[in-house]
Amino acid sequence: MKNWKAKGLKWTLAASMAVTAILPLTYSTPPTYAAEAVVSKVEVVKRLPMVQVIATGGTIAGQSVDETSFTKYRSGTLLIEDMVAALPNKDQIAEVSSYQFGNSGSSAYSMEQLYDLSKTVDEALKTQDGVVVTTGTDTMEEIAYFLDLTVRSPKPVVITGSMRPWTVIGSDAQANLYNAIKLAASGKTKYFGTVLMLNDEFHAAREVTKTNSYRTDTFVSPGVGSLGHIDGDQIRVYRAPFRALKNGGQWATPFDLNKIGKEDLAKVEIAYSYQDAGAGAISGFAKAGADGIVTAGTGAGGISRAMSEERKQAIEEGVIFVSTTRTGSGSNYSSGEGIIGGDNLNPAHARIMLLLSLSFSENFDTIKGWFETYGYGQVEARK
């Protein structure tokens, strides 16, 4: 019996040793596995998105008289290179570069300069994953809509600025610039066209407007609301502009600036209606060579009798009109000989749309068709 147990023990030990010897051959990691492990570690370290900040000046680059001078400052003073360098933790969200396009208030820029700005943005997007454009807020919505209609790349373009200069206590400038970079780097607004980001919210360029001269929550999208917001690391997108629903072939507008020179940009003005408004605005604009005129009408787009008579005369002379409302929100369906309904475009946005349309065509029906496709914001269900 003892011999049997001894033999059994020897057999068990021998078997264990054999298995132990075999295990390294069976379960050891071959060189290819080791190589794959190294690759997987490399893949974990992902390349940060590349975002370029293109600066044009404005309050965001403002130098205040002192740290508490909220309204006394010189806009367009600081350089974007220094502003970007001062942002903390930017290397955690993107590889950020900068380009100083200009350093002026937004209303100081001509349409020819916006032509150059749009082409600068497109050139940057050939190598960058997204672009942030900093501007003054006074005409930011118009600059944003011009870029929205002309930039050819579907990559994210985010326009931002601030209501307080960079150098005062409690400035919104640093937060807005940081969040704009974060939004562009996220890629969440690809195919959205240009979006405007301030006060932790982002809006479609077509619909957003400035509503207050001083408050930091000045930008809103009347009737439709923002696209989404940024809360720390969370970027929430709750709706999309209609362009984001278009396929690749339909996404781009006809307004390719590579096909025209800046000298080809049309001249378009805005005539504001009010109680017993005279005809002088329309007649003056027409005599000064306006190719098109946008009327900011009362209610659903009405204009005074004198303006209406002068509009008829201008239409006979070849001027194209777009009818909009001065109320701040609502749609306009007015149309007729030489008149296009501006839908819910505000007067400033309608001017940008008509200016670009007239820069590429003089045909009324073609322009009307562009307003009813590229210029509108209505979402259509798939058929």
Task: Kindly report, residue by residue over 315-337, the tens digit of the pLDDT.
Answer: 999 999 999 999 999 999 988 99
Q: What whole-number distance in Å separates Cα of residue 313 and Cα of residue 307? A: 10
- pLDDT tens profile 16-65: 444 333 334 333 444 443 444 444 444 556 899 999 999 999 999 999 99
- Which one, of 86, 99, 88, lies nearest residue 50 by Cα? 99
What are 73's strand-pairing partners?
64
pLDDT for position 25: 37
Buried b (16+ CB within 10 A) or exposed e, 358-373: bbbeeeeeebbbbbee
Q: Is 134 a catalytic residue?
A: no
Considering the candidates 59, 150, 194, 324, report the single residue annotated as catalytic: 59
DSSP 131: E
pLDDT at residue 39 in the model: 46
Residue from 146, 331, 322, 373 nearest 224 by CA = 331
Residue 338: per-residue pLDDT = 96
pLDDT at residue number 5: 40
Separation of alpha carbons 153 and 122, rounded Å: 6
pLDDT at res. 24: 40
Angle formed by the axes of helices 347-360 and 364-371, nearest 10°: 140
pLDDT of the residue at 27: 36
Three-state secondary structure call for residue 117: helix
- pLDDT computed for residue 383 by the predictor: 66
Angle 305-316/280-287 helices, nearest 10 degrees? 20
> Residue 127's pLDDT is what?
98
- Distances in Å between the Cα of 59 and the Cα atoms of 55, 210, 248, 285 are 11, 14, 36, 31
Residues of the chain falling short of pLDDT 70:
1-45, 381-383
- Cα dist. 309→213, 303, 336 in Å? 35, 10, 14
Question: For residue 67, what are the contacts with CB-CB under 8 A and spacing of at least 6?
Answer: 167, 168, 169
